[in-house]
Amino acid sequence: MKPSEVRALNDQELVKQLEEGRRELFNLRFRLATRQLVNHREICRVKRKIARILTVTRERQLANG
């Protein structure tokens, strides 16, 4: 998900995407621990997605004062 795509989402969609990303990260870590994860880069991709969502959320908080 690109930053421009994240910025286009409203607040409720951001919360939903954040929840989904954290759930996905949990599942990936679980699969890593049980040695079922094939592509380790997926973890980095999901972490980056979560970070983008949190960044946009924080930008909006600061803009609203």
Our count of domains for the chain comes to 1
Domain containing 31 equals 3-64
What separation in angstroms does the CA of 29 have from each of 10, 12, 16, 51, 53?
A: 28, 26, 20, 17, 20
Say what the pLDDT of residue 1 is.
Answer: 79
In the prediction, which pLDDT does 2 show? 86
Q: What is the pLDDT along the chain (65 residues), one digit of tens a residue?
A: 788 999 999 999 999 999 999 999 999 999 999 999 999 999 999 999 999 999 999 999 999 97
Residue in this structure with the two tokens 């972490």, named with its chain if needed: 47
CATH code of the domain covering residue 23: 1.10.287.310
Check residue 49 and give its pLDDT.
Answer: 96
